[in-house]
Each structure stands twice: as structure tokens, then as C-alpha cells.
Amino acid sequence: MSSTAARATDQGPDHEPGSGPGPRPGSSGPGRGEDRGGGRGSEGRGESRGADRFWTVAEHLDDILDHLHPLDPIELQLLEAQGCVLVEDVTVPTALPPFDNSSMDGYAVRTADIAAATEDYPAVLTVIGDIAAGSETAPAVAPGEAARIMTGAPLPPGAQAVVPVEWTDGGLGRGPVTAMPAHSEVPEGASGRVRVYRPATTGQHVRPRGCDARAGELALSAGTVLGAPQIGLLAALGRATVRVRPRPRVVVLSTGSELVQPGQEAGPGRIHDSNSFQLTAAARDAGAIAFRVGAVADDAGTLRATVEDQLSRADIVVTSGGVSVGAYDVVKEAMREIDFRKLAMQPGKPQGFGRVGPDRVPFIALPGNPVSSYVSFELFVRPAIRTLMGTGPVHRPIVRARCPEGVASSPRGRRQFLRGWYDPPGMDADTGLVTPVGGAGSHLITALAHANALIVVPEETTEVAAGAEVDVVLLT
Ligand SMILES: Nc1nc2c(c(=O)[nH]1)N[C@H]1C(S)=C(S)[C@@H](COP(=O)(O)OP(=O)(O)OC[C@H]3O[C@@H](n4cnc5c(N)ncnc54)[C@H](O)[C@@H]3O)O[C@H]1N2
Ligand code: MOO
């Protein structure tokens, strides 16, 4: 695995954090945990480098995950750590809140002074000044006095409660008000007299020091995945950095001389490169920092040089295309150390996995057909990314759903992943419904873009009766 030392400076324009807890995956994935058989690893396989036999989905997934372990922890700036797993227990250094403070804009008072206050017979107090949030000093409130105080400002010595400004005349002498005038416009509001129309109990509208967290308490334990509230808490505790497992850096390369960048005219025989965008987005969605390198032409030397150039910033390299049996299958040609294999799945039959370069960076070669590459990413690359992050869930969730339309035919001996639309169960149902979207063709990008699930048809099932239940991989 490559060093993470250069991580902070390596992020090119295409990098961006994505996001989610837990260690190494269990056996709940779409195929993982089944019979594993011997001699199937990508290394030291010798003669068993089986180009002819079909690997199961589980075998390929196991082979990839068996060669991965969570990345070493590093210290990251808070926002860089979003979605990462904390590897330290974080204790509260100073109580939260750090001082007694007001929860309302109003007046800090002594409760005895206003105990008998009513609208008809208000308590009249002398205003001794303003205490704004951030005030370093607060004047002491003596009997018969009040300090005008803002939300979050420290409770002054002598005061026992805060009365909201709405319970007072705001110092204007004309009955209850709804707000204070801005200090910049009416500076005299910080002095004079205020009428208070209601009593308050001791501690009312006061947030006592330490009521949120006491110093020395455990704030977040190791293993927590850092979402927005956890990052907010760390910031509130004064932490600028935190020790986490970093996001894996995923380099995405597409291959094919027919590929043209979006924004350019495609021209005869050419198509736009969609896989590198789709896979980069999927890598970010899985929680990785993804670098989209874009399309490399079908030239083995160029691809080899490009891959080697990218290795220093990669925890995983993902390629699309060039892994089948054609005369221009450039990934196969350029990456001799990768084990290329056929999987008993559709789409996604041709696949490759191995490790590259001195740091033995994991290299996952996906097929070029756009649906094949995406489905393969979800089944193999996403779990790899989540494993490197040391966080679960490693796999997309799988649920049972009823398929009212059924599936007319599915290839025997291949696990089929059809695109579908999943509707979760309503209040009175146990299972949701799933409907196939588009056909089985691995070039049907439009249908994929309108699906939210994959319908799993097992290897030995050649049709699914209308109304039968199926496994469904949820993609969102
Ligand atoms: N004789 C055989 N031919 C094929 C077999 C086979 O077993 N025997 N397998 C088929 C299957 S299944 C697949 S999947 C594909 C995989 O081929 P490659 O991984 O080598 O992919 P390419 O040939 O480079 O491309 C396939 C297809 O996808 C389009 N493509 C590729 N990259 C992109 C991209 N970045 N963006 C959009 N579209 C892309 C490409 O133009 C081709 O149409 O092989 C079958 N053939
Ligand atoms: O198996 Mo390929 O990936 O169907 O089109």
C-alpha cells in the first residue's frame, strides 16, 4: 500500500471528500462469504492463473478484500476527517458550556427583586449596562439592578436568572416589547430603567457551566464515524485536528481510443467517456478521495506510463475497459502483473485484480461497458474502499422485495444484476416492491440512471415468476 505521507498536498482539482462505521466486512455482501476454494488468490497462483474457469462473485470479492487492510491512522484537519473513523478516545478538556450563560436576550436579574412582578405592578430595576456574547467582564448585579444580557453572554455575578426581553418593557416604559432596539441605534438602552412584568425562578434561562459535558468526560470514543455533529463537537471542544483512518485515494482511469471528453464533439466512431466520471462519482460516494485521470488511448506503453505516474497518489487504482478478449484490450496488455479472470456474473464477466508497483497498490480492472463497470464498482470497489477506511457498512444493503413483473429470462450459471426501481414497504406490508428498469444490456446507461437498485437473480435461476421475491441491492 502506498504511503499516506503526501496525502495533504496530493489532492488535485478533482479531489473531494465523500462519507459512513465498523471493521472488516462480514459475509452479508452480494456474494461474499460463499465457498472460496483454493488457489484463487491473485498472488503466487502459478499455474492456477485460471483464464478459463469462472470465478464466483464471492471468490473475486474475497480475493480483493483478503489483500487489503485499513489504512494507517493520520492526524487530519477536522473537515478533512469528515466521514472517517476516529482512532482515539476524545475527552472533554474544558466543561461545555465553559461558563454560566444566558439562553435568551433579556435582563440578568436577582430573583427576589422580581418575585412579585405582574403586568399591573411591574418590578422596576436600574439597568447597569450591557453584556454581549463575547464580553470578557460583566458588571455585578446588586439588589434593585438588572444587566441587559444577550444569548450566550456570561451571567454576571449577583444575577440568578434571566428574564426574556418579551417579559419587560425593554426600557421604553410603554408595556411589553417584542425585541430590543439595536445598541448601535439606541445606546441608551444599556442604562435607565426597565420594567419587568413576570417573576423568574433561580436558574431560569441560564445554561450552567458543564451542563452539556463535564471536563474529563468521554466525548467521542474510538471507532466513531465523524459526521457533521461529531465534527461540530470536536470544534466546540477546541480540537483543530483529529486522529482518524484517512479516506483512501482512488485513481480512476478509463481506457479506449474511442473516448472523447464531454464538452468535445464526439465525431465518427467516437463516444464520450462516461465511465471515468461515473466511477469517480461512485468512489466519492463510497467515501474516497477520487482523482479522475480520464481516458487513456489503447496504447499499452502510454497506459503503463500513466499508471506508474499515478501510483504515488493512489491507495487503489481503478480502470475501466480493455479487459476482454479483443485485439486492443490495453489493460490486459499493459498490466501483466494483474490477474484477469472471468466471473460468473452478468454484467461484469471480465475482471482483473492485482497489486502494482513497489508499494503494491491494489489495482482493480473493471470491464468497459458502462453498466458493467458501475455494477462491478458497487460489488467490488466500494467494499474495497470501505475496508481501507476501516468503516462499515462495507457493502450496500440487501433487502428482499417482491417483483410483480418477474424476470423472463436470466443466463444459467451467471448471477445477474438487473437494474430496478425499489419501492420500500408501506405501513401495511412486510416487503417492498421492485420493478426491472430497462433490459439486461450492459450498454444501457439511461436505464441505469433511472434505477435505484439491482435485482439479484442467482446463478441457477433462469426465470423469476411474476410476484416472486428476490434479493435487491439498494444503491442509495
Ligand atoms: N468475444 C468476446 N467479446 C466480448 C466478451 C467475450 O466474452 N467474448 N465479453 C463482453 C463483455 S461481457 C464485456 S463487459 C466487454 C468488456 O470489454 P472491455 O472491458 O475490454 O471493454 P472495452 O472493449 O474497452 O469496451 C466495451 C464497451 O464499453 C464502451 N466503453 C468503454 N469505456 C468506456 C467509457 N469510459 N465510457 C463509455 N463507454 C465506454 C466501449 O466503447 C465498448 O462499447 O467485452 C465484451 N466482448
Ligand atoms: O459481462 Mo459484460 O460486463 O455483460 O457486458
What cell numbers appear for 350 in the block?
Answer: 471480465
Cβ count within 10 A of residue 184: 6
Ligand number, closest to the Cα atom of 371:
2
Q: How far apart are CA 384 and CA 64, in angstroms?
A: 7
Q: How far apart are CA 311 and CA 3, in angstroms?
A: 10
Angle between helices 275-286 and 382-389 (to 10 degrees): 30
Ligand 2 nearest-atom number relative to CA 442: 5
User: Is the C-beta atom of 348 inside 6 A of ligand 2?
Assistant: yes
Span from the CA of 279 to the centroid of ligand 1 (angstroms): 15
Q: Do 244 and 81 touch, CB atoms closer than 8 A? A: yes
User: Is the C-beta atom of 342 inside 6 A of ligand 1?
Assistant: no
pLDDT of residue 413: 97
pLDDT of residue 137: 86
User: Is the C-beta atom of 102 inside 6 A of ligand 1?
Assistant: no
**Over residues 147-165, mean pLDDT:** 97
Q: Is the pLDDT of residue 46 over 90?
A: no
Span from the CA of 254 to the centroid of ligand 1 (angstroms): 12
Helix and strand numbers, DSSP H then E, in the chain:
8, 27
Nearest alpha-carbon partner for 318 in 20, 64, 7: 64
What is the dihedral sign for C-alpha 44, 47, 49, 54? negative
Q: Is the pLDDT of residue 121 over 70?
A: yes
Q: Are strands 123-131 and 193-196 parallel, antiparallel or unpaired?
A: antiparallel
3-class DSSP assignment, residue 370: helix
**Over residues 74-102, mean pLDDT:** 97
Nearest alpha-carbon partner for 294 in 14, 3, 7, 5: 14
Q: Which helix (H) or strand (E) holds 85?
A: strand 85-86
Peptide bond into 397 cis (omega under 30): no
Q: Is the pLDDT of residue 34 over 70?
A: no
Q: Edge to edge, what strands does the sheet with 145-149 contain? A: 161-164, 106-109, 145-149, 123-131, 193-196
What are the residue ranges of helices labelled H in 311-369? 330-334
pLDDT of residue 383: 98
Span from the CA of 320 to the centroid of ligand 1 (angstroms): 9
Check residue 443 and report its DSSP letter.
T
Q: Which tens digits make up the pLDDT trace of 357-382?
A: 999 999 999 999 999 999 999 999 99
What cell numbers appear for 242 in the block?
Answer: 483529529
pLDDT of residue 238: 97
User: Is the C-beta atom of 346 inside 6 A of ligand 2?
Assistant: yes
pLDDT of residue 51: 57
User: Is the C-beta atom of 362 inside 6 A of ligand 2?
Assistant: no
Q: How far is CA 384 from the centre of its chain?
A: 15
Comparison of pLDDT for 4 and 436, the residue scoring more: 436
Q: Is the pLDDT of residue 15 over 80?
A: no
pLDDT above 90: percentage of residues in the chain:
85
Span from the CA of 34 to the centroid of ligand 2 (angstroms): 22
* Alpha carbon distances (Å) from 97 to 101, 154, 214, 241: 8, 10, 9, 21
Three-point CA angle 92, 96, 102, nearest 5°: 175
User: Is the C-beta atom of 70 inside 6 A of ligand 1?
Assistant: no
pLDDT of residue 392: 82
Model confidence at 27, in pLDDT bands (50, 70, 90)?
very low
Q: How far apart are CA 134 and CA 306, in angstroms?
A: 54
pLDDT of residue 135: 87
User: Is the C-beta atom of 25 inside 6 A of ligand 1?
Assistant: no
Q: How far is CA 221 from the centre of its chain?
A: 19
For 116, what's the count of Cα atoms within 13 Å in the CB-facing half-sphere?
A: 2
User: Is the C-beta atom of 329 inside 6 A of ligand 1?
Assistant: yes
Q: How far apart are CA 184 and CA 458, in angstroms?
A: 72
Q: How far apart are CA 312 and CA 24, in angstroms?
A: 25
Please name the residue whose Cα sits nearest to atom 4 of ligand 2. 347
Q: Do 346 and 441 touch, CB atoms closer than 8 A? A: no
Task: Name the residue of 369, 414, 415, 442 whose CB sits within 8 Å of the most ligand 1 atoms, as the mutation to test its pocket.
Answer: 369
Cβ count within 10 A of residue 120: 6
User: Is the C-beta atom of 347 inside 6 A of ligand 2?
Assistant: yes
Ligand 2 nearest-atom number relative to CA 372: 3
Mean pLDDT of the chain: 90
User: Is the C-beta atom of 373 inside 6 A of ligand 1?
Assistant: no
What torsion do the CA atoms of 257, 262, 263, 266 make, to the nearest 10 degrees?
Answer: 40
Span from the CA of 323 to the centroid of ligand 1 (angstroms): 8
Q: Which tens digits make up the pLDDT trace of 438-472?
A: 999 999 999 999 999 999 999 999 999 999 999 99
pLDDT of residue 129: 96
User: Is the C-beta atom of 18 inside 6 A of ligand 1?
Assistant: no
Cell 420500500 found at = 424
pLDDT of residue 288: 97
Phi and psi (nearest 5°) for 80? -70, -20
Q: Do 312 and 356 touch, CB atoms closer than 8 A? A: no
